[in-house]
Amino acid sequence: MNPSSYVIETENLWRVYPLRHGGEGVAALRGISWKVKPGLFIALRGRSGSGKTTLLNCLASLDRPTSGTVSVLGKNLLSMTDEELTCWRRENLGLVFQSFGLLPTLSAYENVELILRLRGEAAATRHQRTLECLELVGMSRWRHHRPYELSGGQQQRVAVARAGEPSLSHPGRRTHRRTGQSQRAGTSGAFPPPGRGGQPHPAHGLP
């Protein structure tokens, strides 16, 4: 496979958090080399503190690794400015945060619609896509509720609807959704096997 057709490529990725009082720091990622083909559903599995969030933050360009390379959708994230990364995330990534990250003063509908507003979509398109995404996660009925009026699972579903736009309502728009190709995660052999050094590892690669 042509290397540029991987959706994610990391090479010897390290993230060492410096300690405030000096010392060696916490090596949350220790040399992750990983290639991911398009069209996979992947779960990262690992004990608490093993580095899952750290890895996802580096892949989402929310954090910069200490060393190594990260390429996502063919873009070398480390060569981009913060402003370029902000635009790139807005157009290409959907994120569901561990703590949901919904805006508390906005309704479920407004939380999803905000992303489309930031992308400059027209009002009618925003309305239609927001309703579609909320419908897909079974949250239409609760669309006027604010996050504090929703259960944890319902908040998570709103976060999924927000992260999934535009690919939930327009599945063909993202490159890696077009191929439908399946592959067991980690079959490239580049990712550390389960248990090695307590690093996070992909649990499933679903078609």
Considering the complex, state which of residue 31 and residue 127 has its C-beta at the smaller distance from ligand ATP: 31
40 binds, among Mg ion, ligand ATP, none (CB under 5 to 8 A by kind): none
In the block, tokens 């949901």 appear at 100
**Tokens matching residue 49:** 């503190």
User: Using the rule CB under 6 A, is 54 a contact of ligand ATP?
Assistant: yes
Site for ligand ATP in 8-37 (CB under 6 A): 17, 26, 28
Q: How far is the CB of 50 from ligand ATP (least distance, A)?
A: 4
Q: Which stretch binds ligand ATP (CB under 6 A): 6-14, 41-49, 78-86, 144-152?
A: 41-49
Write the DSSP string, 48-100. Answer: TTSSHHHHHHHHTTSS--SEEEEEETTEEGGGS-HHHHHHHHHHH----BTTB
Considering the complex, state which of residue 34 and residue 109 has its C-beta at the smaller distance from Mg ion: 34
Considering the complex, state which of residue 27 and residue 131 has its C-beta at the smaller distance from ligand ATP: 27
Q: What is the spatial distance between Cα 202 and Cα 188, in angstroms, rounded to a whole number?
A: 12
Helix (H) or strand (E) holding 205: strand 201-206
Binding residues (CB under 6 A) for ligand ATP: these are 17, 26, 28, 46, 48-54, 200
